[in-house]
Amino acid sequence: MPKVSVLNKEGSQVGDLDLMEGVFAAQIKPGLMHDAVVAQLRGKRAGTASTKTRNEVKGGGRKPWRQKGTGRARHGSIRSPLWVGGGVTFGPKPKEYSNRLPKKAKKQALRSAFSAKLAEERFLVLEELQLEKPRTREVIELLQNLKLEGEKVLLLIADRDENIYKSARNIPGVKTLVASALNIFDLLNHEYIVATMDAVSLVEEGLAP
Q: What are the domain boundaries of the chain?
A: 3-44+100-207, 51-91
Alpha carbon distance 153, 186 (integer Å): 10
By CB atoms closer than 10 A (0-12, 13-18, 19+), residue 155 is buried
CATH topology of domain 3-44+100-207: Ribosomal Protein L4; Chain: A; (3.40.1370)
- Going by C-alpha positions, the residue among 110, 112, 121, 125 that lies closest to residue 156 is 125
Going residue by residue through the chain (209 aa), what tens digit of pLDDT does each one get?
899 999 999 999 999 999 999 999 999 999 999 999 999 999 999 999 999 999 999 988 899 999 999 999 999 999 999 999 999 999 999 999 998 899 999 999 999 999 999 999 999 999 999 999 999 999 999 999 999 998 999 999 999 999 999 999 999 999 999 999 999 999 999 999 999 999 999 999 999 98
Alpha carbon distance 209, 202 (integer Å): 14
